[in-house]
Amino acid sequence: MPCYMSQKQGRFGPTSRMISHRRRSVGPQNGVEEPKRGPRRYLECVNTTKTVRLAQCTPPCPFCPTPTKVGVHSRADQRYRCHQCKKTFTQTNGTPLYGLKTDFDVVFIILTLLIFGCPIPAVVAAFKVDERTLADWIDKAGEHAQRVQGHLVCQGNLELRQVQADELWCRSQRGVLWLATAMSVSARLLIWGKVASGRTEALMDAVVLQVHRATRLQSPILWATDGFSTWTGCIMHHFRSALLTGRRGHPALVQWAELHIVQVIKRTYGERIERRLAWGDLFEALHLIETTQGKPGTINTAFVERLNATLRTWLPALTRRSRHAGSDHERLERHFFLVLVAYNFIRPRRSLQRRVDGRWIERTAGMAASLTDHPWPMEDLLSFRLPPSQAA
């Protein structure tokens, strides 16, 4: 193509420019329009994942107990301002995502792998993330999961009907640790768990207390435990109410009328299994077993034992012969609560499926207990906002 140089008298003197007779295309070529190349378009493409996720709606103020008017303080920093308390906050304030520099999608993937049993050295080798960073993520997510579990489950609105409790031991870098758990059989809901350095009464008492907080007052409930007598004492201590007689003084505390306790004792010699009634009525206990398990059965702790096997699969530190032993009971407990919430709200259970209009609907334990209406992704768990009184 012919071209020539031309001189143009500008404001600051003559300037040179290339003049070509090549025809410039005005419209899109081959039906494909070129993307706009401006600063606004560039800002929309940078960090699209975080921008779209955090700008879906205006969040409520995490510092005020009642809903208030919230305005935008800075669009570039995704920061908002409450008109009542005059404080500024971000979309992730009060969640484990607050202050993280890593892309949120990477955090979701890594925590999902850690929940379902992927060892930490494998995650470090695959994603090139420091072990101390992973430990910090697990601590933050575990504390958040524990508050979410207490906020959704331990509110005194559940009819548990049958609760099975058990404890398991594991090795750590500082000795043997014990984990006590309690679950609802009808909904397969893992209610609470506690990690301690010994198989003591305080360990069982902490679990029974949270189950009492989750149970509707005076509702029928059957406890199935092993032969450890401490369970029976803690259950009878918490599941009692005041007997009002109109007299002066502190009223007497009596056990619930619909409280039943059964025990399954496994003998090491002769492979014998003893089943006995520790408190309540045997006929009512068998009726609760039939209604919660779906068919007539005997006194058993099979469901919580299967739960223990699942926990050992998902949490490598709980396996008997593990190369990934936990450092201490506090960090192990935080990792356990992250697995607990995933068991209740993220992972659908095959035994809880329901057939609706000719197709099977997958349900989680939280859906079976009417705590949620859909299986949660990891994003919903980490972005769950708690009330200001429980966020701390």
Q: Are residues 82 and 220 in the same domain?
A: no
Say which range, 22-31, 167-176, 343-352, 367-376, has the weakest mean pLDDT: 22-31
pLDDT of residue 210 exceeding 90, the answer is yes
Give the count of domains, the chain.
2
| 40 domain residue, yes or no | no
Most confident option among 42-56, 283-297, 318-332:
283-297
Q: What is the reported pLDDT for 44?
A: 35
Q: Which of these, 248, 210, 207, lies nearest to 225 by C-alpha position?
A: 207
Q: Are residues 177 and 307 in the same domain?
A: yes
Q: What is the reported pLDDT for 4?
A: 47
pLDDT tens digits, one per residue of 15-43: 444 444 444 444 444 444 444 443 333 23
Most confident option among 10-14, 64-68, 160-164, 294-298:
160-164
User: How confident is residue 130, by pLDDT bands cut at 50, 70 and 90?
Assistant: very high
Q: Are residues 80 and 170 in the same domain?
A: no
Q: Are residues 169 and 68 in the same domain?
A: no
How far is residue 81's CA from residue 64's CA, in Å, rounded to a whole number?
Answer: 12
| 17 domain residue, yes or no | no
Q: Which of 276, 301, 327 is the last residue of a domain?
A: 327
The average pLDDT across 221-235 equals 94
How far is residue 332's CA from residue 353's CA, in Å, rounded to a whole number?
Answer: 31
Q: Is 192 exposed, middle or buried (0-12, 13-18, 19+ CB in 10 A)?
A: buried
Q: Is 53 exposed, middle or buried (0-12, 13-18, 19+ CB in 10 A)?
A: middle
Say which range, 117-121, 301-305, 371-375, has the weakest mean pLDDT: 117-121
Q: What is the reported pLDDT for 285?
A: 94
Query: In sequence order, which residues have a C-beta less than 8 Å from that of residue 343 and are 6 or more positions away?
Result: 190, 310, 314, 365
Q: For the domain that residue 279 is a member of, what is the CATH number?
A: 3.30.420
Residue 189's DSSP bridge partners are 184
| 376 domain residue, yes or no | no
- Structural domain for 71, as ranges: 62-91
pLDDT of residue 2 exceeding 70, the answer is no
The average pLDDT across 10-15 equals 44
| 77 domain residue, yes or no | yes
Neighbours of 170 (CB within 10 A): 22
Residue 294 exposure: Cα atoms within 13 Å on the Cβ side: 6
DSSP structure string for 68-104:
--EEEEETTTTEEEETTT--EEETTTTSTTTT--S-H
Residue 265's DSSP bridge partners are 274
Q: Are residues 276 and 183 in the same domain?
A: yes
The larger pLDDT score, comparing residue 47 to residue 251, is at: 251
Q: Are residues 316 and 184 in the same domain?
A: yes
How far is residue 28's CA from residue 34's CA, in Å, rounded to a whole number?
Answer: 7
Q: Are residues 76 and 170 in the same domain?
A: no
Q: What is the reported pLDDT for 101?
A: 86
Q: Which of 327, 354, 374 is the last residue of a domain?
A: 327
pLDDT of residue 46 exceeding 70, the answer is no
Residues 297, 305: contact at Cβ < 8 Å? no
The average pLDDT across 182-211 equals 95
User: How confident is residue 380, by pLDDT bands cut at 50, 70 and 90?
Assistant: very high
Residue 318 DSSP class: G
Residues 41, 22: contact at Cβ < 8 Å? no
Q: Are residues 177 and 303 in the same domain?
A: yes
| 379 domain residue, yes or no | no
The phi, psi pair for 97, rounded to 5°, reads -80, -5
Residues 236, 253: contact at Cβ < 8 Å? no
| 80 domain residue, yes or no | yes
Secondary structure element (H or E) that encloses residue 265, with its range: strand 259-266
The average pLDDT across 177-189 equals 95
Q: Look up residue 197 and give its two tokens.
A: 């350095």
Q: Look up residue 56 and give its two tokens.
A: 């879906």
pLDDT of residue 55 exceeding 70, the answer is no
Instruction: Compute the mean pLDDT over every residue in the chain, rounded to the nearest whole number.
Output: 82
Q: What is the reported pLDDT for 199?
A: 92
Q: What is the reported pLDDT for 216?
A: 94
| 31 domain residue, yes or no | no
Q: Are residues 183 and 322 in the same domain?
A: yes
How far is residue 119's CA from residue 324's CA, in Å, rounded to a whole number?
Answer: 7
User: How confident is residue 70, by pLDDT bands cut at 50, 70 and 90?
Assistant: confident
Cα dist. 113→73, 75, 118, 124, 130 in Å? 36, 33, 5, 12, 16
Number of H helices, E strands in the chain: 13, 15
What percent of the chain clears pLDDT 70, i.e. is strictly above it? 82
The average pLDDT across 77-100 equals 83
How far is residue 378's CA from residue 289's CA, in Å, rounded to a whole number?
Answer: 34
pLDDT of residue 347 exceeding 70, the answer is yes
Q: Are residues 76 and 194 in the same domain?
A: no
Longest Cα separation, the chain: 113
Query: In sequence order, which residues have a C-beta less than 8 Å from that of residue 267 and are 6 or more positions away?
Result: 273, 274
Q: Are residues 160 and 267 in the same domain?
A: yes
| 101 domain residue, yes or no | no
The average pLDDT across 217-230 equals 93
Q: What is the reported pLDDT for 48?
A: 37
Q: Look up residue 2 and give its two tokens.
A: 């012919």
Q: Which of 276, 302, 327 is the last residue of a domain?
A: 327
Q: Are residues 72 and 211 in the same domain?
A: no
